[in-house]
Amino acid sequence: MKKKMHVLHIATLNRPIRQDLGYGPIETVIYNIDKGLHKLGHRSIVACAGDSRVFGEQYTTIEKSFSEYWSENTRVQQENMRRHLVISLQRAKKGDIDIIHMHDAVMVEYIFKGVFKSPVPIVMTLHVPAEDKGSFKQWNESLLCSSCAYFVPISEYQRKQHHGLVNAQKVIHHGIDVEDYPFESNTGKQDYLFSIGRITRDKGQDKAIEIAKKTGLRLILAGNVQNKVKDRAFFKTLKKSIGLVTDAGKTFTGSDYYEKVMKPILDSDKQIVYIGEVDSAQKKMWYRYARATLFPIQWGEPFGLVLIESMACGTPVVAFRKGSVPEIIIHGKTGFVVDSIKDMIEAVKAIRLIDPCDCRRHVKDNFSIASMAGKYSKLYQRIVDERNLCLKTSR
């Protein structure tokens, strides 16, 4: 008989854990796991900042999240992080928690420094890529198999990157609630390309602009510019090719968003448009009506939520063959996986061959919240059962 698990998620603090976020990939995943576990009948508790709005039980540790996704590691932030962990640990020690789920590499570092000594096993989702001298590789040298920390890669690509990591588990892909994403068939699509993501050279917005110009299609660019020197410099070079810069994220929300915000932009004579950071509901509208989503990444991304969000709306993705992309897109059926700018241009021209129904079905069958939460709950159960057995045999 399946046991009801009591899971304490220790959330990240960069942004609140909420459904309506614009940019917040890790926070979105935490919200989705929490929602999925709750729907499966498990008790899901999220230790997080007070401006969060979780699906399960909220356990507030600090008043407000940091708001900026990237900022200087100030003393105030360090103190808030320590307070967050200490209060989370106090909650974990009440005796009703089976397992802790963590998502932040910085927080795991506190564990290895002895600041956070967990009374129960810890599952750590590996959101970050492995680096030659990255934190996980350093910690792996001192980790024992008997450690209470278990690491979950989010793609096969990432699992191979973290080869040799102690207590590495099977891959669990991210999942979304497909029913939350509006669907549009080919007949309702508009002739524009969409590209969304943090504005940075790794995401390849300059390549997206090049493809739009060579295909003659309009390009809508969305995403935030973080307070990093290299990202701001990159955006400055992009602006030379952008015909219109507008804020489509704060003007309107709700049912009139298409008529009052999207339509005027699409009716303009500007080919390359930057719309800033849009929230969850707004970006779904841009996905919905796009002819295709471009994903011209320049690095090995462990898992791109953009891919499954776009396909859930019936919008195929044209992406470079990097990172986890080949695991997520079915080439020729839900989009195209290509190796060059030339190939991406040809793929854009052939995009009408993709059936939007196949895109949505693929996400529903392979990247749903239920699937993701089910795999995590089975992992929790196995870890708890194995550790209980070890405790019994050691007595």
Q: Which domains does the chain have, with CATH numbers?
A: 6-175+368-394 (3.40.50.2000), 178-366 (3.40.50.2000)
Q: Which residue has the higher pLDDT, 76 or 211?
A: 211
What is the C-alpha to C-alpha distance for residues 12 and 24, in angstroms, rounded to an integer?
10
Position 86 scores a pLDDT of: 87
Give the count of alpha carbons within 13 A of 169, CB side only: 22
Query: Is residue 42 within 8 Å of 377, Cβ to Cβ?
Result: yes
Tens-place pLDDT, residues 1-53:
468 999 999 999 888 999 877 778 899 999 999 999 999 999 999 999 999 99
Write down the H helix ranges in the chain.
Answer: 25-39, 75-92, 105-112, 135-140, 156-161, 205-215, 229-238, 257, 263-267, 280-289, 305-312, 325-328, 341-349, 356-366, 369-394
Residue 132 has pLDDT above 60, yes or no: no
* Statement: the pTM of the whole predicted model exceeds 0.85: yes
CA angle 200, 205, 209 (to 5 degrees): 155
> Which of helix, strand or coil describes residue 340?
coil
Residue 144 has pLDDT above 80, yes or no: no
Closest CA to 9 of 37, 39, 50: 37
pLDDT tens per residue, range 157-202: 999 988 888 888 999 999 999 999 999 888 889 999 999 999 999 9
Sole residue written with tokens 């900042």: 49
Mean pLDDT of 238-247: 94
Residues whose CB falls within 8 Å of the CB of residue 305, separated by 6 or more in sequence, listed in order: 25, 28, 29, 174, 176
| Residue 100 scores a pLDDT above 60 | yes
Q: In sequence order, which residues have a C-beta less than 8 Å from that of residue 321 and are 6 or more positions away? A: 337, 338, 339
Q: What is the pLDDT of residue 108?
A: 67
Helix (H, G, I), strand (E, B) or coil at 142: coil
* Residue 226 confidence (pLDDT): 87
Q: Which of 176, 171, 181 is nearest to 36 (CA)?
A: 176
pLDDT over 70 (residue 69): no
pLDDT of residue 1: 46
Q: Nearest CA to 324 among 158, 101, 123?
A: 158
